Each structure stands twice: as C-alpha cells, then as structure tokens.
Amino acid sequence: MKILVVGGHPADVFDRCGGTMMHHVKAGDSVTCLTLTQGLRIHDKVVSDVFRFGTEGYTREEIERICEEREAVKLQEVKDACALFGITDVRSLRYDDKILIVNAEMIDAVARIIREIKPTIVITHYPRNYGNTIDHHAETGKIVIAATQLAGSVDFEDSNTSWRIADIAFMIMSEDISGYSFEAICAGYGASPNYFVDVTDVADIKVKALDMMRSQQYEGIPARKVVETMNGMFGLHIHTPYCEAFMLNKPVVSDKINICDHWMLRMNEPERARMERDYEMIAPFVPMPE
C-alpha cells in the first residue's frame, strides 16, 4: 500500500500519525510525507517567537536570509524525526504560512503529487477543525479533499496519469473533538474518530521524534507531554496504553459484521485486568507500583 500524509506545517506530518506510519513501513508499505508550508510564522523560535516583538535593527535582506536558514533547519528536523519511523520520502511545498486558505495553486500542487505517487489512501487534517473557520489545519484538510478530486480527473498539463484514491483518513487530535475544544466557536463541529491504531510499541519513538523539533521548542517535557496526554487519552478510552486516532471518510464495507481482535479480547476480561491496562496509559515512562 502507498500512503500520502499531508500536513499544514512540518511537524504535523508525524506528530499525529507517526506511530501508525511506522507500522506501515515495517509491513512493507510506502509512506510519503508532505508539508504545505514552511511553518515559520507559527512554529519557530526565531521567526515566530523573536520577530513577533518587532524587526527593528534587521534589514529586509537579513530577514529573508534568516527565514531561509530557519526553513532549512526546520525541514531537516522533520526529515530526521521521520527517519526514526522509517520514513525517507519527506517533501515540502514551501509555501509561506502567513495566510493559509483554500486556493487553486495549492490544490493543483497537491493533486500533482497524488498523480505522481498514486497513493491508496491520503491522511490529512480534519477539515472542520476550529469550528470550520479559517484555520491552518482545517484549510489543509479542505485543500487535500479538493486535490484528491482534481487528481482523479484529466490534466493535460501533467505527464502523470489521473489517479483516484481509495479513501481519506483524517488525523484526529483532542482539539478536533467536541468537548475538548473549549472555545465557543468550536461548538457543534467535533469529530468522532472511528479508527484507532495502537502505537504503544512505538510511543517512546514518538517522544524522541518530537524532541528533535527544537526549532519549535518541543524538546524535553513538551515532547513527553504530547504523547502521554494525547495518545494516552485516546488509549484510555479504548483500554490500551497509547493510540493514534483517525476518522475514515468512507464507511467500511464487508460481507458481514466484523469485530476486531481488540474488542474480542476485552469482551469479558476481569475488571482488574482492564484497570491495569488503563493504568498503562503512562507506560513506559512511569512504572506500575507493586
């Protein structure tokens, strides 16, 4: 299987689904990660953290040079982080993240990559994030949806033939779920994840990968906090230590109703066993007491 992951910002391509992608890589599947923007104005300790207080003393040429340097640093961090998951094909469209909205240029650019790679499934952001308003993640999701439709049509200016994917999977984070986004604007737009991947076996690798994002100041406690709270929260709800959550766009079709092994195993397990499994939400970072 071929998988294309599209994120709005560099770290988005692995912090939400890196564990799942590692499982696919180990299974022999092909994974390509694509980021739409440089991610400098929102997530960079120089551009977004220093320059937001002003650029006095810097010339336009110096600012452009610093931005180019920071973009290279950030992209290399992402490539190094993805390498931990076995992902070697990491790309960037290098758009400025000053304003990220649905536009024809980005849609066409993503569609061309879809025609080139010919993925089975495309993974991207939930398109109704932050109340379906102008939000980088939500707009990325909308761009990708439009691109998958465009990629399936004829483009006489693209040497690659048209390609229709099997499905889109939306990467779900806590802020995508109603009840976890506390701003009024988000009310009524919550996602309902319907597919979970147990990533307990690679939770420590996710921490190491996030720790590499020093340009975003994720190193140290923030890296652990993301995995323990985000993936641990999803895991707690389905009785396994760490999970990544997704929302498949299309319903599952089969010749009968299938129950996955996960729920079959837990159907009649002792309550103590279930509680111990839930406690492992914070493993392997915290040992279980005697």
Q: Which amino acid is at 240?
A: T
- DSSP code of residue 288: P
The closest of 232, 238, 211, 237 to 283, measured between CA atoms, is 232
d(CA 189, CA 177): 8
Q: For 71-101, write each residue's pLDDT tens digit.
A: 999 999 999 999 999 999 999 999 999 999 9
Q: For 125-183, write each residue's pLDDT tens digit.
A: 999 988 788 899 999 999 999 999 999 999 999 999 999 999 999 999 888 886 456 77
| CATH superfamily ID and name for 2-282 | LmbE-like (3.40.50.10320)
Task: Report pTM.
Answer: 0.91
**Contact assessment for residue 4 and residue 117, using Cβ atoms and an 8 Å cutoff:** yes
pLDDT at residue 290, rounded to an integer: 47
Q: Which three-class secondary structure state does DSSP give residue 277?
A: helix
CB burial of residue 78 (10 Å; 0-12, 13-18, 19+)? buried
Q: In what order do the strands lie in the sheet with 243-248?
A: 89-95, 30-37, 2-7, 121-125, 167-172, 243-248, 195-198
Does position 195 have pLDDT exceeding 90, yes or no? yes
pLDDT at residue 247, rounded to an integer: 96
Query: Domain coordinates of the chain in residue numbers?
Result: 2-282
